[in-house]
């Protein structure tokens, strides 16, 4: 990977952070699941994907959608229920989707998108063009039978499926250790003979490196793979959930910020100047301002649309 990939990754992570911050500040923000803190996972994984691949994810879908290249204006429109969102404002944050852009999309039932992703992988396998399906899910999904059923079939049928667990260490308020027995969540893949590893999800380079290796494995017909990325979310579970973590823990998490971490590394390595870094932030802010303006200019759906496209 080159420095230009790193700068793209930095810009992609900044876009997520900036867009979510603009979203949170809005009166019509509503119920949202923010990705702030976890940007490196979606951005690192998306960097390993090709145009014909499909990315699926949990309801925490803003970073995955943006990382996959969806237009920030349309994403913002969808998030605030406007008709120019890719789902015409009907899906919202939990169900962002744009398959034509390689983003099959979100499904807000915990563990609910895993077997769907395996089905998408089955359809892609029939195409013989080496395309793959990738499913991002939280640590909460690892306690569900859906993961185990899906891994079993994916391994049996050698499906082109990369499972990515974005382990942010909490299911709402329940710490991961109180909910899940395995030492590492990637250990769950071993009994099925699925290639797996665990990486630091706060380091976009580590995520990207592992994602490239595992997507190569999946793409070349090696069967499914499992990537665990240990991350931290900076906000509470959702915009309507109480924060249960203490100030000290939150401050320690902030120290791991994937954006400042990459930026510092690039500055230190001489791949980025302070001036370029500032310019990058300015560009991202301008994109988000334009995205908000686009979304605001878009109408809400008419009530009759409640009956459209049923079935």
Partner 1 sequence: MSADPGRTRRVFFREAICRAVGETLDAEPNAIVMGQDVGAFGGSYKEFYGLFERFGPARVRDTPVAEAAMVGLGVGAAAAGLRTLVSITYMDFVLLALDPLVNYAAKARFKTGGQIRVPMVVKLTAGAKGQGVAHSQSLESWLVSVPGLRVVAPSNVADAYGLMRSALQADGPVVYVDHKRLFPTSGALDDSVHEVPFGLAAVCRPGRHASIVTHSYMVCVALAACDQLAVSGIDCEVIDLRSLAPLDLATVCTSVSKTGALLTLEEGQVVCGIGAEIACQVQARLGPVRVMRLGAVPAPVSSNPVLEAATLPNAARVADAVRRLLMEG
Which chain residues interact with partner 1 by CB under 8 A?
54, 85-91, 95, 97-100, 104-105, 107, 109, 112, 114-124, 126, 133, 145-146, 149-150, 152-153, 156-157, 308-311
Smallest gap from Cβ 144 to partner 1, in A, equals 9
Query: Which residue's CB is nearer to partner 1, number 100 or number 247?
Result: 100
Where are the strands (E) in the chain, listed by range? 54-57, 103-106, 133-138, 161-167, 170-171, 174-175, 195-200, 225-230
d(CA 298, CA 300): 7
Retrieve residue 224's tokens.
Answer: 């499914």
Smallest gap from Cβ 118 to partner 1, in A, equals 5
Q: Which residues, 6 or more positions from 35, have their beta carbon under 8 angstroms from its beta carbon?
A: 16, 20, 42, 60, 61, 62, 63, 64, 233
Smallest gap from Cβ 129 to partner 1, in A, equals 12
Query: Which residue's CB is nearer to partner 1, number 38 or number 113?
Result: 113
Smallest gap from Cβ 164 to partner 1, in A, equals 16
Query: Which residue's CB is nearer to partner 1, number 144 or number 213?
Result: 144
Smallest gap from Cβ 297 to partner 1, in A, equals 18
d(CA 240, CA 161): 33
Q: Write the DSSP assignment of 38-80 as a string of letters.
A: -HHHHHHHHTT--TT-EEEE-S--HHHHHHTT--HHHHHHHHT
Query: Which residue's CB is nearer to partner 1, number 25 or number 306?
Result: 306
Query: Which residue's CB is nearer to partner 1, number 159 or number 199?
Result: 159
């Amino acid at each position: 990977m080159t420095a230009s990939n790193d700068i793209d990754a930095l810009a992609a992570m900044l876009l997520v952070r900036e867009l979510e911050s603009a979203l949170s500040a809005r009166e019509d923000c509503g119920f949202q699941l923010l990705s702030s803190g976890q940007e490196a996972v979606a951005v690192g994984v998306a960097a390993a994907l090709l145009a014909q691949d499909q990315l699926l994810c949990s309801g925490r879908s803003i970073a995955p959608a943006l990382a996959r290249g969806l237009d920030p204006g349309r994403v913002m429109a969808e998030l605030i229920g406007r008709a120019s969102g890719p789902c015409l404002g009907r899906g919202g944050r939990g169900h962002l989707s744009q398959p034509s852009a390689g983003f099959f999309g979100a499904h807000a039932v915990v563990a609910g998108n895993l077997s769907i992703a395996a089905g998408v992988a089955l359809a892609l396998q029939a195409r013989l063009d080496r395309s793959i399906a990738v499913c991002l899910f939280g640590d909460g999904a690892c306690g569900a039978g859906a993961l185990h059923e899906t891994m079993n079939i994916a391994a049996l049928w050698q499906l082109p499926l990369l499972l990515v667990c974005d382990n942010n260490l909490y299911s709402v308020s329940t710490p991961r250790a109180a909910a899940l027995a395995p030492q590492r969540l990637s250990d769950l893949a071993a009994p099925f003979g699925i290639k797996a590893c665990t990486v630091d999800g706060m380091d976009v380079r580590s995520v990207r490196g592992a994602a490239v290796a595992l997507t190569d494995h999946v793409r070349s017909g090696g069967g499914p793979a499992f990537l665990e990325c240990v991350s931290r979310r900076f906000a509470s579970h959702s915009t309507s959930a109480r924060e249960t973590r203490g100030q000290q823990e939150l401050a320690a998490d902030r120290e791991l910020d994937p954006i400042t971490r990459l930026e510092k590394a690039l500055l230190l390595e001489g791949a980025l100047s302070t001036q370029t870094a500032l310019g990058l932030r300015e560009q991202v802010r301008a994109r988000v301002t334009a995205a908000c303006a686009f979304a605001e200019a878009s109408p809400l759906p008419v009530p009759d649309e409640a009956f459209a496209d049923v079935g």
